[in-house]
């Protein structure tokens, strides 16, 4: 959890500063791709705020109404990020880019003076975007380091499997957002440079459209990943096999009648099992046997927070 919070804070600081700089670049040049990137960075900043709210809310103590805690709050707020922020920003970027392609006349000429030196105003966009790439690279490295740590810890084959299996949607959202941010800044930079090199502003407008499509694609993918967790996804089949083996190899266990797992929060899972014990097992032994099984399950996977074993003799 601490790693996820650090990832979000790093992205929040970077995106807040970048959003202001990109908007200044848009005001000076009228570049449609810079406006799309402004939408993008404003969305990213709002994204981090929502994720921080989710992290804080998920730390609330368990209650009668929420006996397994509030961990799923992170799934909900991450889903809001996808629908409200990236979806809206993506649509606005697509619309603005399309209008710029169809109607044209969006470029703004002019110069700016800095420390007595005069430069074409579009230089500002290049400088801002290069700075944005630097800041986003820092945030990306931090998020990627946390995700790689989880990949090593749970023996996932790589990023694709991590995307499919992780319950840490906070880190997943931050990492994907940082990746899209780097791609978006690269597209905007390419569009601006191509427009200035060729004198055709359509490249800038096309970059704005592509940035919007990236955002909308990310919104769809993120919403889909959160759906599986909000609906109550189990631990992966290979992990469940290992956990069942822990129970089956425990003393006096003859059969597992039922076994279920479900994520109740990021990196927090519930395990329930109906277990048949040897008929000769004394009733006074059952409590100790069950306690040992619960301990072994938690040691087998640190994501297991709640364990309920129902004995069948």
**2-230, what's its fold?**
Alpha-lytic protease prodomain-like (1.20.1510)
Residue in the block written with tokens 């790093």: 10
Cα–Cα distance, 36 to 207 (Å, whole number): 9
- The residue extents of the domains of the chain are 2-230, 237-312
Backbone angles phi, psi at 234, to 5 degrees: -85, 170
Q: How many CB atoms lie within 10 A of CB 296?
A: 15
CB–CB of 202/104 below 8 Å? Answer: yes
Is residue 307's pLDDT more than 90?
yes
Q: What is the mean pLDDT of the chain?
A: 86
Q: How many CB atoms lie within 10 A of CB 55?
A: 20
Whole-Å CA distances, 75 to 58, 136, 146, 224, 268: 10, 24, 18, 11, 12
CA–CA–CA angle 170, 176, 42 (5° rounding): 85
Q: How far is CA 21 from CA 93, 153, 239, 258, 304, in A?
A: 17, 38, 46, 57, 44
Look at the block and give the residue holding tokens 């969305």.
43
Q: Do domains 2-230 and 237-312 have the same CATH topology?
A: no
pLDDT value at residue 114? 58
Tens digit of each residue's pLDDT (9 = 90 or more) over 4-61 = 777 777 778 878 888 888 888 888 788 888 888 888 888 888 878 888 888 888 888 8
The CATH topology of domain 237-312 is Alpha-Beta Plaits (3.30.70)
Query: Each residue of 235-286: pLDDT tens digit?
Result: 999 999 999 999 999 999 999 999 999 999 888 999 999 999 998 888 788 9
- Could you count the other beta carbons within 10 Å of the beta carbon of residue 133? 18
User: β-pairing, 268-277 with 304-312?
Assistant: parallel
């Amino acid at each position: 959890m601490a790693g996820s919070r650090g990832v979000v804070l790093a992205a929040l600081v970077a995106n807040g500063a970048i959003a202001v700089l990109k908007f200044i670049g848009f005001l000076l040049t009228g570049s449609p791709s810079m406006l799309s990137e402004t939408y993008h960075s404003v969305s990213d900043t709002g994204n981090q705020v929502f994720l921080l709210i989710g992290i804080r809310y998920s730390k609330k103590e368990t209650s009668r109404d929420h006996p397994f805690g509030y961990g799923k709050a992170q799934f909900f707020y991450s889903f809001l990020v996808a629908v409200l922020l990236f979806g809206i920003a993506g649509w606005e970027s697509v619309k603005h880019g399309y209008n710029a392609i169809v109607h044209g006349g969006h470029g703004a000429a002019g110069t700016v003076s800095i420390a007595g030196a005069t430069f074409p105003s579009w230089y500002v966009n290049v400088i801002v975007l290069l700075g944005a790439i630097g800041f986003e690279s820092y945030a990306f490295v931090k998020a990627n380091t946390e995700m790689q740590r989880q990949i090593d810890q749970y023996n996932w084959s790589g990023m694709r499997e991590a995307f499919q299996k992780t319950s840490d949607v906070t880190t997943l959202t931050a990492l994907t957002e940082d990746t899209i941010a780097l791609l978006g800044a690269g597209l905007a930079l390419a569009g601006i440079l191509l427009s200035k090199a060729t004198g055709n502003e359509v490249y800038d407008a096309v970059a704005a459209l592509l940035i919007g499509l990236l955002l909308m694609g990310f919104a769809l993918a993120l919403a889909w990943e959160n759906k599986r967790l909000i609906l109550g996804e189990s631990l992966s089949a290979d992990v469940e096999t290992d956990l069942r083996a822990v129970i089956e190899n425990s003393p006096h266990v003859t059969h597992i009648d039922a076994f279920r797992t479900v994520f109740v929060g990021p990196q927090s899972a519930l395990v329930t099992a109906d277990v048949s014990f040897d008929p000769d097992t004394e009733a006074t032994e059952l409590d100790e046997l069950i306690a040992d099984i619960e301990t072994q399950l938690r040691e087998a996977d640190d994501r297991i927070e709640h364990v309920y074993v129902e004995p069948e003799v």
